[in-house]
Amino acid sequence: MESVQAIKQRFEIIGNNPKLNRAIEKAIQVAPTDISVLVVGESGVGKESIPKIIHSLSHRKHGKYIAVNCGAIPEGTIDSELFGHEKGAFTGATSTREGYFEVASGGTIFLDEVGELPLTTQVRLLRVLENGEFIKVGSSQVQKTDVRIVAATNVNMFEAIEKGKFREDLYYRLSTVDIPLPPLRDRKEDIHLLFRKFSSDFAHKYKMPAIKLDDQAVQLLLQFRWSGNIRQLRNVAEQISVLETTRDISIATLKSYLPSEGSNLPSVIKDKKNDSDFGTEREILYKVLFDMKSDLNDLKKLTMELMESGNTNVQEKNKNLIQKIYGSNQEENEIDFEDQNELSVIPMAKTTQSASSTFTDSEDNYLFAETVEEEEVLKLEQKEIEMIKKSLEKNKGKRKAAADELGISERTLYRKIKQFDL
């Protein structure tokens, strides 16, 4: 078994941080096995080195090694890329194509940014991990593959699972062994070593002397947050190597190539509107409409009481109800209570078809109020049916996905489907 130092030299890994050394040790230990590995760490920390180490030290080292950036492949074609497709499976599929899992059988596949995989692809990947089986797009034939999977991600997987963006069972299949890589800000002792290595590489590449930092510039280099990690440090070293004519770099020169301090401080960012917000707004709208229906029922009952008797207490109850619904501004609502025997004017809600309607003690007006209420109920049910239909069509009949989108439980959706005979 090769030592950590030998692996560092072989793969040009710079640094002596204990967390980095521990990550390399774990990679060396799991390499001879076939268990799946999940490499976790921020973007730019060098996660792609770990699967290369694992593959080179495994019994699969003579097989193929394929690295796939899951976040760079469009959702509509990723299944075809990973599992292949049959001729005519979709528009443009002019011939049968082998996927990565078929081509890399006997070798290793590195799935970078695995957290970006669509949920449908996650189901297919889970089957490969469980029994080594997959089906090409457009085919019904089950095929076998013997492939080692090493995955990497920079997202918080537990948050992704909680939000329903990543399957929990797939996470535990992928992360049989977790290998975390530390961010550059936690490897302060390695920052200057890396900068000198990059400076030397660019000096050789561009055929010029290597740049050198003075003591104050080195201190600034160590204190900087490096949110982009090793990738950001490399870019800064390349910029200075190419653009600066002098090879001795002062703190002032280095500062001009670093983002301002404010951009490296934590900031409060308003959460983006997510799918659950849409569900919340819909629930509020439903509540308003149902409250309106209840208020209309109360108005109907009071109108009936007024038709049967001219009791002053009934008039007072009526007045309180209308003020509750429309507010206490008598000038705006123009509610007339001077006549003790009938309700002269009752404005309807602005959301109904008419802006205001007059209720009297006549039977015709009572029937009109009842008709308006029935129309409102029918409109509400129709809207609900349309929303359920659209959601089911959008999610291809999958009730769970449709229920999640509508913001209701799957059981409630099933009841609504039976109720409206969808």
Half-sphere exposure of 231 toward its Cβ, with a 13 Å CA cutoff? Answer: 9
pLDDT at 39: 97
Among 37-46, 168-177, 245-254, 409-418, which is the least confidently predicted range?
409-418
- SS3 string, 43-90, reads CCCCCCHHHHHHHHCCCCCCCCEEEEEHHHCCCCCHHHHHHCECCCCC
- Per-residue pLDDT at 366 exceeds 60: no
* 115 and 209, same domain (yes or no): no
Average pLDDT over residues 339-345: 40
* 89 and 209, same domain (yes or no): no
* 175 and 54, same domain (yes or no): yes
Among 142-156, 197-211, 307-321, 386-400, which is the least confidently predicted range?
307-321
Q: Do 212 and 247 touch, CB atoms closer than 8 A?
A: yes
* 295 and 413, same domain (yes or no): yes
Residue (of 230, 249, 202, 169) closest to 15 by Cα position: 230
Percent of the chain with pLDDT over 70: 77
- Per-residue pLDDT at 235 exceeds 50: yes
Helix axes 410-419, 363-394, angle to 10 degrees: 120
| Domain-located, residue 214 | yes
E-state strands within 80-187:
108-112, 133-135, 142-144, 148-153, 177-180
- Per-residue pLDDT at 262 exceeds 80: no
| Domain-located, residue 46 | yes
* 222 and 146, same domain (yes or no): no
| Domain-located, residue 272 | no
| Range among 186-195, 308-317, 340-349 rated most confident | 186-195
pLDDT at 297: 77
| Domain-located, residue 269 | no
* 292 and 237, same domain (yes or no): no
Measured between its terminal Cα atoms, the distance across the chain in Å is 64
Average pLDDT over residues 173-187: 96
Half-sphere exposure of 40 toward its Cβ, with a 13 Å CA cutoff? Answer: 14
* 222 and 318, same domain (yes or no): no
How far is residue 355's CA from residue 66's CA, in Å, rounded to a whole number?
Answer: 67
pLDDT digits (tens, 9 = 90+) for 45-82: 999 999 999 999 999 999 999 999 999 999 889 999 99
- Per-residue pLDDT at 419 exceeds 50: yes
| Domain-located, residue 270 | no
Domain count, the chain: 3
- pLDDT bin (cut points 50, 70, 90) of residue 329 is very low
Average pLDDT over residues 277-282: 59
The amino acid that residue 154 corresponds to is N
* 301 and 232, same domain (yes or no): no
Considering 182, 211, 237, which residue would you say is the last residue of a domain? 182
- Per-residue pLDDT at 382 exceeds 90: no
* CATH number, residue 226: 1.10.8.60
pLDDT at 375: 58
- Per-residue pLDDT at 338 exceeds 70: no
Q: Do 190 and 15 touch, CB atoms closer than 8 A?
A: yes
* Residue 206 CB neighbours (<10 A): 10
Considering 235, 264, 293, which residue would you say is the last residue of a domain? 264
Considering 230, 264, 298, which residue would you say is the last residue of a domain? 264
* 293 and 317, same domain (yes or no): yes
- Residue 38: which H helix or E strand, with range? strand 37-40
pLDDT at 40: 97
* Residue 338 CB neighbours (<10 A): 5
- Per-residue pLDDT at 324 exceeds 80: no
Facing residues of 148 across strands? 108
Percent of the chain with pLDDT over 90: 58
| Domain-located, residue 353 | yes
Torsion of CA 11, 14, 20, 23, to 10 degrees: 0
Print the domain residue range for 175. Answer: 4-182
* 85 and 144, same domain (yes or no): yes
How far is residue 154's CA from residue 227's CA, in Å, rounded to a whole number?
Answer: 13
The amino acid that residue 135 corresponds to is I
* CATH number, residue 146: 3.40.50.300
pLDDT digits (tens, 9 = 90+) for 77-120: 999 999 999 998 888 888 999 999 999 999 999 999 999 999 99
* 178 and 48, same domain (yes or no): yes
| Domain-located, residue 252 | yes
pLDDT at 134: 95
The reported pTM is 0.62
Pairing of strands 142-144, 133-135: antiparallel
- Per-residue pLDDT at 261 exceeds 90: no
* 58 and 169, same domain (yes or no): yes
Average pLDDT over residues 158-183: 95
What is the overall mean pLDDT for the chain? 82
| Domain-located, residue 271 | no
